[in-house]
Amino acid sequence: MLKMFLCSFFSLCTLSVYGGYYAQSLCKTDGFTCYQVQPGDRWEHLIQDLEDQMMLKKLNRTNTQLKHHRVIALPKWERSSLYHFSPMPYYIDHDGEKRVVISLKDHAFGAYDESGALIKWGPISGGRGYCPDTQSYCRTVQGEFKIYRMGHAGCKSGKYPLETKGGAPMPYCMFFHRGYAIHGSTLPGYHASHGCVRVFDDDAQWLNQEFVEHGTQVHVVDRL
């Protein structure tokens, strides 16, 4: 009941996005407006407060520079924190264990404590539909997993880029299934990885150092 109320209130749970820019759908929902980036626009031009600037980037699921003609979502009203814009439910059914839930359609993760309460959420970029370099489909695997290996700020890929047989930065990597990991990286606003779950570096550090442990549950779903 609570989840249904929250989805109705924020109108964020109606989004259905996999391959395109998340912001193009977000800006058409209640509480947001669409803004087309103009020549010379930068994040700091749109909003000067660094904390609010970071919130705007996370709402748009990107930490890259703005590009001319790109559409981003601007909130119509002020909220006290990013937490209040969450597309993830504030409570989920629980089994007494904390977990990380990845919602691919919402381009978001939610960190839930042992009581099923949302502690933190943030943007993600999952696997793209098709990867030209591997000539294969590379969407993020869905299912229930557990963290089995963790790295530090200097974590790097052992496979990508293919031409160098690895070396791509994966700061604060947290592996949950074979080569699939949650890690800090660039988020362009759409699913763009080889299957890993990219998050902002600060979110990766928080998850790695303050929330996730070996054995922490990771649930990857299309949408909650």
Q: What is the pLDDT of residue 19?
A: 53
Cβ atoms of 4 and 90 closer than 8 Å: no
If asked whether residues 45 and 119 sit together in one domain, one would say no
Domain total of the chain: 2
Confirm whether 20 is domain-assigned: yes
Confirm whether 131 is domain-assigned: yes
pLDDT-derived band at 99 (thresholds 50, 70, 90) equals very high
Which percentage of the chain shows pLDDT scores above 70?
91
Cα-based distances in Å from 122 to 81, 82, 168, 216: 12, 8, 22, 18
If asked whether residues 124 and 206 sit together in one domain, one would say yes
Q: What are phi and psi of 53, to 5 degrees?
A: -65, -45
If asked whether residues 148 and 187 sit together in one domain, one would say yes
Which percentage of the chain shows pLDDT scores above 90?
86
Confirm whether 93 is domain-assigned: no
Q: What is the pLDDT of residue 80?
A: 73
**Does the pLDDT of residue 6 top 60, yes or no?**
no
Q: What is the pLDDT of residue 20?
A: 81
If asked whether residues 14 and 119 sit together in one domain, one would say no
Strands (E), the chain: 32-36, 71-75, 99-103, 108-112, 118-125, 130-131, 136-137, 143-146, 149-150, 174-177, 180-184, 197-199, 217-221
> How far apart are the C-alpha atoms of 54 and 63, rounded to whole Å?
8
Q: What are phi and psi of 49, to 5 degrees?
A: -65, 125
Q: Which domain does 192 fall in, by range?
A: 99-221
Q: Residue 150 belongs to a domain with what CATH number? A: 2.40.440.10
Straight-line distance from the first to the last Cα atom of the chain, in angstroms, rounded to the nearest whole number? 14
Q: What is the pLDDT of residue 78?
A: 73
Mean pLDDT of 59-78: 94
Confirm whether 91 is domain-assigned: no
Domain-terminating residue out of 80, 113, 138:
80
Which amino acid is present at 175?
A: F
Q: How far is CA 90 from the centre of its chain?
A: 16
Per residue in 127-166, pLDDT tens? 999 999 999 999 999 999 999 999 999 999 999 999 999 9
Mean pLDDT of 34-55: 94
Confirm whether 87 is domain-assigned: no
Q: What SS3 state is found at 35?
A: strand
Confirm whether 35 is domain-assigned: yes
